[in-house]
Amino acid sequence: MEKTKSIFVDLNERSYTIVIGDDIYNGVAAYIEHFANNRQVAIITTPPVANFYLKKVIAAFQSEWQVISYQVPDGEESKSIAMAQHLYSWLIRNHFERKATIIALGGGVIGDLAGFIAATYLRGINLMHIPTSLLAQVDSSIGGKVGVNHSLGKNIIGAFYQPRLVISDISVLTTLPQEEFICGMGEIIKYGFIYDGDLFTGLEKKVNTINQHNPDELLPIVHRCIEIKSEIVTKDERESGLRAILNFGHTFGHAFESFYQYQGLKHGQAVLLGMKCALEVSRKLDLIAEPIFKRGLALIDHMQVELPPGINKPDINDLLKIVKHDKKVTQGRNNLVLLTAIGAAKVVPVEDESLLAKGFEAVLRKG
Ligand code: NAD
Ligand code: GLY
């Protein structure tokens, strides 16, 4: 496979290119030239990422560019209106104009936050994603969901706001902590489950070596996942149908995340656990046969994710209460994404609480 590839996300006037490669940050300014209509760039990042990559990205710009950078504290708490206020003030004080560009340099937290700032500052300025976590590269930097959290719920305030460009450099994954790598693997496995049986089979074969971050194996996988997400988003930008399948495992996963108050269980880990629950419900409804269920479970179990240790364990009733308030509930029914084959999924409205409980039990039995 060639070292640098591009994928075009075709969304009419909101179209953009995703560049995927190995050690490509020195080309950032050249890429930005394609859309930037002034020379102001504001990089929003976080200390762990800045330590490794901020200088390299800044160095790509010649002196005629006004490049400023802001490091927000690491972690989900930074996805807040309070942090957005700081960032607006910073942009205003630096006289940033409507034609300026925001670069989100970091994982999904930075992408969502910086994307929200780009969508709202001066009613919208250019956004460029430079995703540095595996999860952000294969998922959150594509498709335009941006936002911040509210004390009453995650991702409650936000917008659909497409970037002008995405640059995914897989060489930066070498510094990603293993736990974060596994979170990205959760989303990669999800694409295999819901959309691409060949990807799933490939993952089954290579799971041990992929987990060692082998770049030659990772590049085609990251590329394929970006292709899948781009295809889905192109067909259904605002989640009125197909895009909903990307939520496979998310209804259950969000319930776990919410129970632990977004601490101790990361989003990607929760998705891995949530997919176990969704598999269980798919089997109970006879949408998939036992061998498929077992294959699915085996691949997820390879990731070795469990509920956080300690006495604070959820029981079924805690989780059922949370799941009833899920964002995707309509007319009192949970719209679950369930599997119909390896590589195919559909949304199924589920009213029966005992079925949801069976799903959660798939994880609680072990926890
Ligand atoms: P994250 O942004 O917190 O990043 C994970 C950790 O890895 C952080 O500590 C970060 O500093 C560090 N990191 C990132 N890249 C690194 C690198 N190359 N080297 C060393 N350290 C690095 O978490 P995440 O898993 O990337 O994203 C989770 C967030 O994404 C959640 O807020 C979730 O809601 C959101 N999300 C959004 C979408 C979407 O479509 N917008 C989709 C999925 C998830
Ligand atoms: N991560 C789900 C979506 O982008 O729709």
227 is catalytic: no
pLDDT value, residue 2: 56
- Do the Cβ atoms of 115 and 129 come closer than 8 Å? yes
Identify residue 192 by its one-letter amino acid code.
G
- Residue 81's CB is within 10 A of a number of other CB atoms, namely 12
User: What pLDDT was estimated at residue 1?
Assistant: 47
Whether the CB-CB separation of 268 and 183 falls below 8 Å is answered with: yes
- Strand order of the β-sheet with 126-131 is 5-9, 16-21, 165-169, 126-131, 101-106, 40-45, 66-71
Alpha-carbon span 188 to 194, nearest angstrom: 10
Q: Which of 129, 243, 266, 276 is catalytic?
A: 243
> Which is the catalytic residue, given 129, 145, 190, 302?
145
H-helix or E-strand containing 166? strand 165-169
326 phi/psi in degrees, rounded to 5: -60, 145
Q: Which atom of ligand 1 approaches the CA of 134 most closely?
A: 26
Kindly report the backbone phi and psi dihedral angles of residue 15, in degrees, each rounded to the nearest multiple of 5, phi listed first: -70, 155
CB 237 within 8 A of CB 160: yes
Q: Is 39 helix (H, G, I), strand (E, B) or coil?
A: coil
* pLDDT score, position 367: 52
Identity of the residue numbered 346? K
Which of 79, 223, 224, 247 is catalytic? The answer is 247
CA distances from 198 to 114, 136, 242, 300 (A): 34, 22, 20, 16
Cα-flanking dihedrals φ and ψ of residue 214, to 5°?
-65, 110
Which atom of ligand 2 is closest in space to residue 187's alpha carbon? Answer: 1
Catalytic status, residue 334:
no
**H helix intervals, 34-177:** 47-59, 81-93, 108-120, 134-135
Q: Is the CB of 190 under 6 A from ligand 2?
A: no
At residue 262, the pLDDT reads 86
Q: What is the largest CA-CA distance in the chain?
A: 63
* β-strands 145-150, 153-160 pairing: antiparallel
Residue 244 alpha carbon, nearest atom of ligand 2: 5
From residue 77, give the alpha-carbon distance in Å to each of 148, 233, 271.
9, 27, 19
Cα radius of gyration rounded to whole Å, the chain: 20
Residue 328: CB within 6 Å of ligand 2?
no
- Give the per-residue pLDDT at 34: 86
Give residues with Cβ within 8 angstroms of 324, minimum separation 6: 334
- Going by alpha carbons, the residue nearest to atom 2 of ligand 2 is 246
Q: Are 15 and 164 in contact (CB under 8 A)?
A: no
Ligand 1 pocket residue status of 107, Cβ below 6 Å: yes
**Mean pLDDT of successive 10-residue stretches along the chain, which has 367 residues:** 85 97 92 90 98 97 96 96 98 97 98 98 98 98 96 90 97 95 97 98 92 85 97 97 97 94 92 98 98 97 93 90 80 91 96 94 83
Q: Which helix (H) or strand (E) holds 179?
A: helix 178-194
Q: Give the pLDDT confidence score for residue 247 in this predicted structure.
A: 96
Q: Among 269, 283, 300, 272, which Cα is nearest to 341's?
A: 283
324 carries an active-site annotation:
no
Give the pLDDT score at 36: 86
Neighbours of 6 (CB within 10 A): 11
Q: What tokens does 344 get?
A: 């195919």
Catalytic annotation present for 247? yes
